[in-house]
Structure 1
Amino acid sequence: MKKIFLHNTFKNILFWIVMFLYLLSSYWFREDNKIYITTYIGFKVFLQFILSLIILNVYIPFLLHKKKKVLFIFVVLITIYIIQILYSLVRVYYFETFYPEVYKYRPPYVLVERMTSFVAYVSNITWVVFPSIILIAIKHYQEQKDIIALKEQKKTTELNLLKHQLNPHFLFNTLNNLYALALKKSDKTPEVIAKLSEILDYILYQCKDNYVPLEKEIELLENYIGLEKVRYGNRVEVIFEKDLHDNLKIAPLILLTFVENAFKHGISQELQKGSIHISISAKEDLIVFKLSNTKPPTSISLEENDKKSIGMSNIIKQLDLLYPNAYDLKINESNSNYNLRLELHEKV
């Protein structure tokens, strides 16, 4: 916090030094009395500083941010008028008194007229408000950057939370499969453990980014399908078609949940041989994922299962976050089949 304060203080000091030097350079070669012009410009910059200090730290937070726009404009105009009076008094009673040679050939500066002149007031607005406008613009830009950064931070936090919820969900289902094989004392248990190790290595260490290469996700699906085929054996037929023309990226673990649900809610309840048909195509900026699986006619609707599924609800939330207005998910279900089509437009 202290570093941020010092950094902002340094930037403010630098801004006013630059403003002073800019104005001084504009008059430096037109005025012979360098002490006068330095003092005069310093005084004008001081008035600009006072106005900007009041506007940025009092009027904006206590009036403009509280939707009191009319009052904000009114008090700003009044403050500028007060500064005009202060400027006029200092010019007449200080600068014209101590530097008479500078004003010897200039038109007389009638104090009352200058303090009540609308033309003089408008003229003063131009130079006295100029730095404040710049600072307000800079502050607004910084606030917008902070808002965007906070939104991104919130989005990242929410995505990480969803992934942390999803990983235990997947692990729970897979350990159930492993437990079933262990009870049967199956010789395939070591193979399942090896595949599970590869899958977890990918989930825990290789998919931390919001988007990963599609090839990596396909490899994950192949490992998972291999894991399930060890469990179900001849009870399931899996067809996996790939048509990849471009190296696209995809949000991690999106497709895994769909495939996992096909096994869990479809194939696991089949009394006869079930089938799963998966196809993935990638061309230009579009990824199309299709999944179709059989299910027992008497089973609970997979759509109802999807509504109750933690994994599926998390996937929908991730799609909303990572593919806003850039995805299309369609699910159709009959008594014996479950069909899903997901279109993703690449976001990176």
Structure 2
Amino acid sequence: MLSRLNDKISLNEKSSLKLHFIFWSVIFIFNLSTHLFIEKPDSVSGAYTIGQKALILLFHLSAVIVTCYFIVLRVLPLLSRKNQIGRAVLEMVIGIYLICILSRSSIVYGLEPMLGRNFVEQETLFEIAFDIDILIQHYLPGIITGSVPFFLAYLLVDRYQIQQKHMQAEKDKRAAELYVLKSQLNPHFLFNTLNNIYSLTIQHSHLASKSIEKLSYILDYTLYRCNDDFVSLEKEYELLNNYIQLEKIRYNDRLEIQTDFYYDCSYKIAPLLLLAVVENMFKHGVEKTTGIAILQIKLNATNKNLLLETKNTFDQSESDAQGIGLNNVQQQLQLLYPGRHHMTIEKMNNIFILKLQMQLQ
């Protein structure tokens, strides 16, 4: 934390200089206003004009400012180093002592002659330096209490920056995890589709060109159009439709599929989630079975709620009817929709039923 506090002092940056200037200006105005409202007219300071009071406050505030930046730029870096605590404390004590001497000297030799008043008999620098009681009683408390707002502000800024860095780290971690998960899905899909097109070209089928057209759309979408965290549900529907058409070409008469899509085009969803579910359905419901494969896909997205239900026949002898695809989907849902999704899987006889509910944006 000490290093972070030091990092926030960047006197070479214009934006940082402005923030520091604004902070000390607010402190100055607040203190001046407080003195003007609470002091009594018959008090010693009550005899000064507003300009003189501002000048007095400026002299005292200068000592506070020097102390704050001395601690942040010199003392805190020492505290962050190993075996430097003793040196840091010693330098802080000596530094604040010298600042107190400098503050009193500037008032005795600068401020009071400017005001035309001299309440304290003129002292030499030697007398000022070794008048410890005056320095401790009249200068040190003001420097300490005046520094409190500065360090409170820095602690608040430090806490805010920690939270921002934590949120960014979580976001980067989530993005990296999602990238890995997506990379597990896309090669499998691409491999299956290229195998299908290869078979069609061997058969000299005119469907090969249609398959390439569908595949080019899907690749264009997955590579260039779905890099955002969320995309429109309409785009995901187009992706699913192209994928289903590809699989219809591939399996031809062996596939019986029913689709029912009803959704609000304004909704957004995490990209490729639905594709992963549907791809898994084709993999275990058609690819790994023989004979006629029966599939059903129902999608309803209204009132910011999405319900996807898929049904497919599957081979009961298959050891894993779920596969990496749905495990992948579950991990993505936990990252993108924590506490806002529910997925159930049910197997009845040779029917695999999946229901996915999500709260949409």
Which bin holds the TM-score, normalised by the shorter protein? 0.7 to 0.9
Following superposition, the deviation at residue 295 of structure 1 comes to 1.1
Q: Aligned match of 1:101 in 96, 116, 120? A: 116
Task: Summarize deviations over 1:243-263 as a string: whole Å, max 9, x none.
Answer: 325732111111111111211
- Paired amino acid for 1:53: Y
TM-align CA RMSD? 4.2
- 1:181–1:188: 8 Å Cα contact kept in structure 2? yes
Residue in 1 aligned with 2:182? Answer: 163
Q: Which moved more, 1:328-337 or 1:52-61?
A: 52-61
User: Are the structure 2 counterparts of residues 277 and 59 from structure 1 closer, same or farther at C-alpha, using a change threshold of 3 Å?
Assistant: farther
> In the aligned structure 1, how far is the partner of 2:91 from the partner of 2:353?
64
User: Are the structure 2 counterparts of residues 19 and 229 from structure 1 closer, same or farther at C-alpha, using a change threshold of 3 Å?
Assistant: closer
Matched residues, number: 332
- 1:20–1:41: 8 Å Cα contact kept in structure 2? no
- 1:47–1:128: 8 Å Cα contact kept in structure 2? no
Following superposition, the deviation at residue 284 of structure 1 comes to 1.4
Following superposition, the deviation at residue 239 of structure 1 comes to 0.9
Residue in 1 aligned with 2:219? Answer: 200
Following superposition, the deviation at residue 104 of structure 1 comes to 3.9
> In the aligned structure 2, how far is the partner of 1:325 from the partner of 1:61?
43
> In the aligned structure 1, how far is the partner of 2:356 from the partner of 2:224?
26
> In the aligned structure 2, how far is the partner of 1:56 from the partner of 1:5?
8
> In the aligned structure 2, how far is the partner of 1:42 from the partner of 1:92?
11
How much identity, in percent, do the aligned residues show?
Answer: 29
SS in 2 for 1:302: coil
Q: Aligned match of 2:67 in 47, 51, 68? A: 51
Following superposition, the deviation at residue 45 of structure 1 comes to 3.4
> In the aligned structure 2, how far is the partner of 1:46 from the partner of 1:204?
59
Following superposition, the deviation at residue 55 of structure 1 comes to 4.3
Residue in 2 aligned with 1:337? Answer: 351
> In the aligned structure 2, how far is the partner of 1:6 from the partner of 1:261?
54
Residue in 2 aligned with 1:108? Answer: none
> In the aligned structure 1, how far is the partner of 2:202 from the partner of 2:160?
63
User: Are the structure 2 counterparts of residues 283 and 97 from structure 1 closer, same or farther at C-alpha, using a change threshold of 3 Å?
Assistant: closer
Please state if 1:13 is matched with 2:51.
no
Following superposition, the deviation at residue 196 of structure 1 comes to 1.4
Following superposition, the deviation at residue 64 of structure 1 comes to 8.6
User: Are the structure 2 counterparts of residues 236 and 36 from structure 1 closer, same or farther at C-alpha, using a change threshold of 3 Å?
Assistant: closer
Following superposition, the deviation at residue 122 of structure 1 comes to 5.3
Following superposition, the deviation at residue 148 of structure 1 comes to 2.6
Task: Summarize deviations over 1:272-321 as a string: whole Å, max 9, x none.
Answer: 21111111111212111111100123233313xx1xx2x44443332222
User: Are the structure 2 counterparts of residues 170 and 83 from structure 1 closer, same or farther at C-alpha, using a change threshold of 3 Å?
Assistant: farther
> In the aligned structure 2, how far is the partner of 1:222 from the partner of 1:65?
61
Following superposition, the deviation at residue 198 of structure 1 comes to 2.1
Q: Which moved more, 1:166-175 or 1:148-157?
A: 148-157
Unaligned runs of 5+ in 2: 1-7, 37-45, 121-130
Residue in 2 aligned with 1:184? Answer: 203
Residue in 2 aligned with 1:130? Answer: 149
SS in 2 for 1:299: coil
Task: Summarize deviations over 1:74-114 as a string: whole Å, max 9, x none.
Answer: 99997997488547743675457745733549xxxxx6655
Residue in 1 aligned with 2:39? Answer: none
User: Are the structure 2 counterparts of residues 262 and 100 from structure 1 closer, same or farther at C-alpha, using a change threshold of 3 Å?
Assistant: closer
Q: Aligned match of 1:270 in 289, 294, 313? A: 289
> In the aligned structure 1, how far is the partner of 2:229 from the partner of 2:50?
64
- 2:100–2:140: 8 Å Cα contact kept in structure 1? no
> In the aligned structure 2, how far is the partner of 1:148 from the partner of 1:326?
19
| Residue correspondence of structure 1 range 322-333 to structure 2 within 5 A | 322-333=336-347
User: Are the structure 2 counterparts of residues 16 and 259 from structure 1 closer, same or farther at C-alpha, using a change threshold of 3 Å?
Assistant: closer
> In the aligned structure 2, how far is the partner of 1:33 from the partner of 1:289?
73
> In the aligned structure 2, how far is the partner of 1:193 from the partner of 1:33?
83
TM-score w.r.t. length of structure 2: 0.74
- Paired amino acid for 2:269: I
SS in 2 for 1:252: coil
- Paired amino acid for 1:167: N
> In the aligned structure 1, how far is the partner of 2:261 from the partner of 2:94?
70
> In the aligned structure 2, how far is the partner of 1:76 from the partner of 1:137?
26
Following superposition, the deviation at residue 5 of structure 1 comes to 9.1
Task: Summarize deviations over 1:196-225 as a string: whole Å, max 9, x none.
Answer: 122222222221211111122122112111
Unaligned runs of 5+ in 1: 106-110
| Residue correspondence of structure 1 range 1-348 to structure 2 within 5 A | 9-18=13-22, 21-22=25-26, 23=28, 26=32, 31-32=48-49, 38=55, 40-57=56-73, 82=97, 85-86=100-101, 89-90=104-105, 93-94=108-109, 98=113, 101-104=116-119, 114-117=134-137, 124-244=143-263, 247-303=266-322, 306=323, 309=324, 311-346=325-360, 348=361
